[in-house]
Structure 1
Amino acid sequence: MTQTATVVHVVGPEHTARAVGSGDLDVLGTPVVLAWLEEATCAELDLDASQTSVGTRVEVQHLVASAVGSTITTRATVTQRDGRMVIFDVAAHDQRGTLVASGQVRRIVVDRERFLSRVPAVD
């Protein structure tokens, strides 16, 4: 059984490289497409309220520019589970079916409170 989640977004002005500081063009910014790919990985995980997951490794190629108004569908498919570690193949396509980005994301399932208790406070 394939474990896959899909998330759909429409590129708005707030998602552009110019808006997020990753360039000066009004096209979908790489940090945004990465966040949308990670959102799909989180959507696939069915965790209880005491758990969450954290990203530990990302390898993504942003292949094609997407204009404001484009519809981007991100998909995350589990390729490996090893204890708390989950590895996903991820892909983003536009409304024409063009591959916009692809790669792999690794997440670790953690106890929410235990994880937060280890985060150092800011002085």
Structure 2
Amino acid sequence: MRHEVTDVDTAVAVGSGDVPVLATPRLIAWMEADTVRAAEPFIGTGQTTVGTAVRIEHTRATRVGGKVEIVTEPPAAASGRRLTFRVQAVDDSGDLVASGEIDRAIVDRERFLNR
């Protein structure tokens, strides 16, 4: 998934800082969205996934107008109901912006919503 940083994506806009660069919470949301997509081959009818853990190191600032590519590496197989994805964000220059892991759990959608 490729994203362009806009004013609404900045730390100032989301309240996570006072500089007009890509906010870590927005970056993590983009990464999580890509793991949702990458989880599709692992889930069956009536199932979905929910995020359970995020371990991300955001190491490089991206200014408004910059572009970030999210790269998600799915696990080879599910470990029970748990999926752990390796994720990276890379900017236009090819520099690493962030990396880490995101865990998702496979759940029955209806049962989850009725809890």
TM-score over 0.5 for the alignment? yes
**CA displacement at 1:81 relative to structure 2:** 2.0
Task: Find the counterpart in structure 2 of residue 99 from structure 1.
Answer: 96
**Residue 62 in structure 1 maps to residue 58 in structure 2:** yes
Task: Find the counterpart in structure 2 of residue 51 from structure 1.
Answer: 47
The one-character-per-residue Cα deviations of 1:65-93 (angstroms, maximum 9, x if unpaired) are 00001111001112352121100111000
**What's the secondary structure of 1:45's corresponding residue?**
helix
Task: Find the counterpart in structure 2 of residue 4 from structure 1.
Answer: none
Task: Find the counterpart in structure 1 of residue 83 from structure 2.
Answer: 86
Name the amino acid aligned to 1:45.
Answer: A
Q: 2:17 aligns with which of 18, 23, 44?
A: 23
Matched positions, count: 112
TM-score, length-scaled by structure 1: 0.86
Q: 1:38 aligns with which of 32, 37, 42?
A: 32
TM-score, length-scaled by structure 2: 0.92
The range that moved more, 75-84 or 96-105, is 75-84
Tell me which stretches of 4 or more aligned residues in structure 1 moved more than 6 Å: none
The one-character-per-residue Cα deviations of 1:27-46 (angstroms, maximum 9, x if unpaired) are 00000000111111111122
Identity within the alignment, %? 44
Q: Structure 2 unaligned segments of length 5 or more: list them.
A: none
**CA displacement at 1:48 relative to structure 2:** 4.6
**Residue 72 in structure 1 maps to residue 68 in structure 2:** yes
Q: When you count helix as a share of all residues, which structure comes out higher?
A: 2
Q: When you count strand as a share of all residues, which structure comes out higher?
A: 1
The one-character-per-residue Cα deviations of 1:88-123 (angstroms, maximum 9, x if unpaired) are 1110000111100000111001111110111xxxxx
Q: Distance in 2 between matches of 1:73 and 1:34?
A: 12
